[in-house]
A and B are shown apart, each in its own frame.
Chain A
Amino acid sequence: MNKTVNQKAWFLVLPVLVLVAFNAIVPLITVVNYSVQETFGNNVFFWSGITWFEDVLRSPRFHASLGRQLTFTFTILAIEVPLGVLIALAMPRKGIWVSVCLVLMAMPLLIPWNVVGAMWNIFALPEIGLLGKTLNAMGFDYNYTRQPGDAWFTLILMDVWHWTSLVVLLAYAGLVSIPDAYYQAAKIDGASSWAIFRYIQLPKMKRVLTIAILLRFMDSFNIYTEPSVLTGGGPGNSTTLLSIDLVKIALGQFDLGPAAAMSLIYFLVILLLSWIFYTVMTRDEANQ
């Protein structure tokens, strides 16, 4: 049978290409152009070469924000992924409670990011917030606006509250797609519940978990709105993550050159880490 070769369908991709060009490629190229120049506004530029890259790469401030960013991202991944899988395993597979659970789980995802930040900001206030006041009444010296440790605790709690649902929903989708025959076979073999999890459920969830981890990694590495509303990067600089620092440099100080260099380095770090995650997690699949 002869298949018709017709490459004209590629033209259908054109609208998307134009859209992506204007919302991603053109800005990215402009950032590259900015990163090698100095400007005082008014579209007047001076060449500065790779000075900004050298400055950013060697600046303790950048190292500190990058360190905080990595700590934040890997902490929330270490909490959200196992917790999400556990909740998905505990959720009912049949009956009326399925929809109740799913709706409850989806709720945090429907709330706009700045509202989540504002909610937790008030919720955790030590004098009037439910969480802050309760913790203080229980004898903890809790004040997220003053103590860095408390600010981190609140930040991570907020992110776990907001985004674990995503992992739950994806893991749940993976779980319900496993045919009953697998469980029946496991029962006949007398497999323990750990063995069922390890050899049936986990491998079947692998693909969706890969997506969940990648999404959570990229989103948390780019996180801006929630911490910015919750703590504004404080107290001091203790919760100034990369994106918050970037906005401070670009918009607060109007240092567009260094900010452009920093965003490119930021972009390359995300690109590298995402590639590593993706490659490691899909490698076994290719082996089979």
Chain B
Amino acid sequence: MQDIVLFSQAWWTEPLGTWMAWTRATIAFFLFIVAAIGSMGVWEYYSPGGAPRRGVFAIDTTRGDRLFLSLLGSAFIFMAWLYVFGTPLWWPLGICGLWTIFTFRYV
């Protein structure tokens, strides 16, 4: 245990031997999801404006819908990239960033 360097790949991916088979990487993933949902609440509190609006796809979306769409779309961007090109996944990460910006601004 002691030879694992903090924040190294081994540190992130080491199975913690807990119930539900947690690793630090998957904890970080779920913290990110929770933070994303939580920040929607904070955003709405300080700057209300989450009412539905009509975007480029001609569908009514709220801010929450747009978060859902950007996450779901990101999952499919990653899967498509994995299917076509395989690893590494830095490029699709960038595409997901652009997709998220696009979704929040225009959809």
Using a CB–CB cutoff of 8 Å, the interface residues on chain A facing chain B are: 26, 29-30, 32-34, 36-37, 39, 43-47, 49-50, 53-54, 57-58, 265, 268, 271-272, 275, 279, 283, 286
Q: Is A29 a contact partner of B20 (Cβ separation < 8 A)?
A: yes
Nearest A residue to B14 via CB reads A47
Q: Is A30 a contact partner of B21 (Cβ separation < 8 A)?
A: yes
- Name the segment of B40-48, B72-80, B95-103 touching the other chain: B72-80
**Cα separation A53 to B60 with both chains bound (whole Å):** 33
For residue B39, CB closer than 8 A to chain A, the reply is no
A-B contact pairs, 7 of them (CB 8 A): A45-B21, A50-B82, A57-B82, A268-B79, A272-B72, A272-B76, A286-B59
Neighbouring A residues of B76 by C-beta, 8 Å: 268, 272
**Min distance, Cβ A53 to any Cβ of chain B, angstroms:** 6
Nearest A residue to B27 via CB reads A33
Q: A30-B20, A50-B89, A271-B72 are in contact. Are A265 and B14 (CB under 8 A)?
A: no
Neighbouring B residues of A32 by C-beta, 8 Å: 26, 29-30
Neighbouring B residues of A279 by C-beta, 8 Å: 59
**Cα separation A57 to B86 with both chains bound (whole Å):** 10
Nearest A residue to B83 via CB reads A57
- Which one of B15, B22, B30, B87 has the highest number of Cβ atoms from chain A below 10 Å of its Cβ? B15
